[in-house]
Structure 1
Amino acid sequence: MRDPYLAMALNNAWANATLYSAISGMSDADFAAPRPGFLGSLKATLNHIHVIDLYYMDALEGGGVGRSLRDQDDIASVSALARAQADADLRLTRFCNALTPAILQETCLTDRPEGAVEEQVGSILLHIFQHQVHHRGQAHTMVADAGIDPPQLDEFHLQYMRAPTAAAYFAD
Structure 2
Amino acid sequence: MSRTRHVCLMANYNQWMNAKVYAAAGSLPDEALTRDRKAFFGSILGTLNHLVAADIIWLKRFATHPANHPTLAALEQLPVPRRLDELLFTNFRELAAQRLWLDQLIIDWSASLSEPDLDHLLHYANTRGIPADRHFYSLLMHFFNHQTHHRGQVTTLLTQAGVDTGDTDLLFLVPNEPGAT
Residue 56 of structure 1 contacts residue 110 of structure 1 at CA under 8 Å; is this kept in 2? no
Consecutive unaligned residues in structure 2, runs of 5 or more: 65-72, 177-181
Residue 12 of structure 1 contacts residue 132 of structure 1 at CA under 8 Å; is this kept in 2? yes
Q: What is the deviation of 1:61? A: 0.5
d(CA) in 2 for partners of 1:97 and 1:9? 9
Q: Say which of 67, 86, 92 aligns to 2:106.
A: 92
Percent of pairs identical after alignment?
26
d(CA) in 1 for partners of 2:87 and 2:151? 20
| Counterpart mapping for 1:1-172 below 5 A | 3-62=5-64, 68-71=80-83, 73-112=87-126, 113-154=128-169, 156-158=172-174
d(CA) in 2 for partners of 1:44 and 1:109? 29
Consecutive unaligned residues in structure 1, runs of 5 or more: 161-172
d(CA) in 1 for partners of 2:174 and 2:43? 31
TM-score, length-scaled by structure 2:
0.78
Q: Alpha carbon RMSD of aligned pairs, Å?
A: 2.5
The aligned length equals 160
Runs of 4+ in 1 over 4 A off after TM superposition: none
For the residue of structure 2 that corresponds to 1:29, the secondary structure is: helix
AA aligned opposite 2:82: R
d(CA) in 2 for partners of 1:158 and 1:102? 23
Residue 35 of structure 1 contacts residue 145 of structure 1 at CA under 8 Å; is this kept in 2? no
d(CA) in 1 for partners of 2:101 and 2:12? 13
